[in-house]
Structures are given as structure tokens and as C-alpha cells.
Amino acid sequence: MFHKEGAKIILGSVIVTVALILLADYIIPAQLHWLKTFVQVVMLVFLIIVLQFFRNPKRNVDAIEDHLILAPVDGKVVVIEEVFEPEYFKDKRLMVSIFMSPINVHVTRYALNGMVKYSKYHPGKYLVAWHPKASEENERTTVVIDNPVFGEVMYRQIAGALAKRIVNYAKEGQRAIQGEDAGFIKFGSRVDLYLPLGTKLNVELKQKAKGNKTVIAIK
């Protein structure tokens, strides 16, 4: 199953791959069979990479719970620290950052239930996603969800060096349902969660997170 955000890129990649495979078969002489095979294999690998990047595995939440915050994306937990959040809260929050490599699923899912209180897109740079200034200077979206147990929780989609488009489905006044698609980041990125200080975490640094399955915090 593939995400709808990849439809045009997947279609274009299939057309280009098929065209180049047929072209290689037509123009490369028979005595250069190794070159023909190399070109065709490279194109197939390219297509496989594109397909796996836009995959959208079906992952139902086991049980929707207000007292749980689930991982919004697949990736690795790279930061757990108290930081000052200047955009919305303007005070200290507990930040949990999940970095997505190009081979991870890049669907962003709602980590918790609640009402969308704030949703804003920021144009910006394309520093590598793990850069300390990425959360402030890169292209990003900021979303705040008001949850009945945790209160207001923010998540931020951050573009990386390869990411050229962030898709955000959250709209102010809309209800966020834990586990449903909240957006997509194309080609490399990270997602930061900003939680109230004192939140009991269920993850640690360098742990692999799985969207809709790994419990980030519990109350």
C-alpha cells in the first residue's frame, strides 16, 4: 500500500524506468550486454527505492487511549531534553525528537487524541535534520493538539537536507484522532514532540520507534 502523496512521483518513476529499460535494450549493442544489464538493474533499484519510500503500511492502533502518546513516525529517538519552546508555549517543554532515515516510512500520524489548537507552516532552510538549528531554521510545520489528559502537546514536522515538501493535514478546530494520517514529509526529515515537563517517558535515546505502535509517553 502506498501513500497518496507519492502518486505522481511513483507514476513518473515507473514511466521513466520502463522507458530507460526499453531504450537500453534498443540502443546498447549486443556485445555490451554487461552495460545493458547494469543500466536496467540500476533503474529497477531506483524504482524500488521510490516505492519503498512512499509505502504506507496499515497500522491500526491497538486501542485509542487518551493517556498514551504514540510515536507519530518511524525512526530513531535522537534527542530527549528540556528546551525552551519560543513559538507557541514560550516556556520550557520536554522535547523528544525522532529522526527518519530515507528508508523509514515517512507518514506522520497523530500521536494522540484531541482538538487541533494551532497549525502553522514555516518556510525555511534545508539543513540536515539532525542539525541543532533544524527545528528553528528549516522548513517546518507546527501543530498543537489539546488532549484531555496531557493538556496541550506540540509536534513539529521538520524537513531535512533532501526533503523538499512537507504535507500537513491538521487544521485548527479539527479533531485529531490518534493513529490517523496527519501528513507526510518527502525525502528525509524528523519530527519533534514537545511535552509538558514531568511527562513520564516510555522511550530512551537511540531507541527505534514505530509509528502507531511505540508508546512515547504514558500518564
Q: How many CB atoms lie within 10 A of CB 47?
A: 17
Distance CA 137, CA 143 (A): 16
Across the strands, what pairs with 71? none
* Burial (Cβ within 10 Å: 0-12, 13-18, ≥19) of residue 219: middle
Q: CA 49, 166, 1, 114: dihedral to nearest 10 degrees?
A: 150
Selected catalytic residue, list 97, 119, 135, 189: 189
Q: Let me know if 13 is a catalytic residue.
A: no
Question: Number of C-alpha atoms within 13 angstroms, CB side, residue 22?
Answer: 6
**Contact (CB, 8 A) for 69 and 193:** yes
Q: Edge-to-edge strand order for the sheet containing 208-209?
A: 175-176, 114-122, 140-147, 151-159, 189-195, 91-100, 75-85, 208-209
Active-site residues, by number, are 189
